[in-house]
Structure 1
Amino acid sequence: MTVALWITSALLTMIYLLAGVMKVASSKEAVQPQMAYVEDFAAGQVKAIGAVELLGALGVILPLATGIAPVLTGVAAVGLAVVQVAALVVHVRRGEKSLPVNIALLLLAVAVAALRFATL
């Protein structure tokens, strides 16, 4: 079970680090070609979403890697699952076709949370 937790945590971390850095480090206009939904949000909101994704990505891997407060890995994964539920709502309202990606990320986050809480 530990190997599965590491693999899913690493995958989730890589995906959210990439997405979060892109949103935080780039302007809304630069992000919009890859992420059309940002047109519905203010630039500050896009940066805030990116910051939440970065914190979640770090929270999923750092407590696990350091052994310091390992319960935070599960808490961060639950937070990322909430982010994905919100993303699903936005994408459904916009009629976008990215739902399989959002569902996959939601399932990864739920898996990390379940694996982390199961090993406590």
Structure 2
Amino acid sequence: MAIQKRSKALNISVWVVQILLSLTFLYAGFMKLFLPEDLPWLWIQENTELVWISGVVDMLAGLGLTLPSLLRILPKLTVYAAFGSMVLMLSAILFHVLRGEGDQIGFNVFIFICAAFVVWGRGKKYPIELANRPFK
């Protein structure tokens, strides 16, 4: 009984992290695409193309982290979106370090760890099953 409760709690934890990561990426993407002038970072004014590209990638990550699992349509895409989020965070860390802004990578490291948790949770521990599997 205790193992089943721990399993259920861990599955819920993966869902919570997925949803919070999704909301974080959707918010960041929305801000970068529609309200970049409201963002306080200097690099936004210096790299307008990068802001647009990262905004689109953020929106795709936000959608990919939850929709495939919630709809149970190609749920493996959630794992791929989490991997992509990890790559995005590694790119952001490298970007900030190269600009001499190494003190600003804490949030990126945290998001990287959360995305790695989703990769582990949805990839190995608690994968989402397809809704209809007629040829199982």
Fold shared, TM-score > 0.5 on shorter chain: yes
Partner of 2:61: 56
Q: Is the contact between residue 37 and residue 91 of structure 1 (CA under 8 Å) also seen in structure 2?
A: no
Partner of 1:2: 11
Question: Is the counterpart of residue 101 in structure 1 residue 110 in structure 2?
Answer: no
Partner of 1:114: 120
Match of 1:11 among 20, 39, 54: 20
Unpaired stretches in structure 1, ≥5 consecutive residues: none
What is the distance in 2 between the residues matched to 1:66 and 1:35? 36
What is the distance in 1 between the residues matched to 2:45 and 2:34? 17
Q: Secondary structure at the match of 1:21?
A: helix
Deviates more, 1:95-104 or 1:66-75: 95-104
Matching of residues 80-95 of structure 1 within 5 Å: 80-95=85-100
Unpaired stretches in structure 2, ≥5 consecutive residues: 1-9, 128-136
Answer with 1 or 2: which has the greater Rg.
2
Q: Percent identity?
A: 29
CA apart distance, 1:40: 4.2
**Number of residue-to-residue matches in the alignment:** 116
What is the distance in 2 between the residues matched to 1:60 and 1:51? 14
TM-score, normalised by the number of residues in structure 1: 0.89
What is the distance in 2 between the residues matched to 1:9 and 1:91? 25
CA apart distance, 1:26: 2.4
Amino acid at match of 1:6: W
RMSD: 1.4
Runs of 4 or more above 3 Å deviation = none
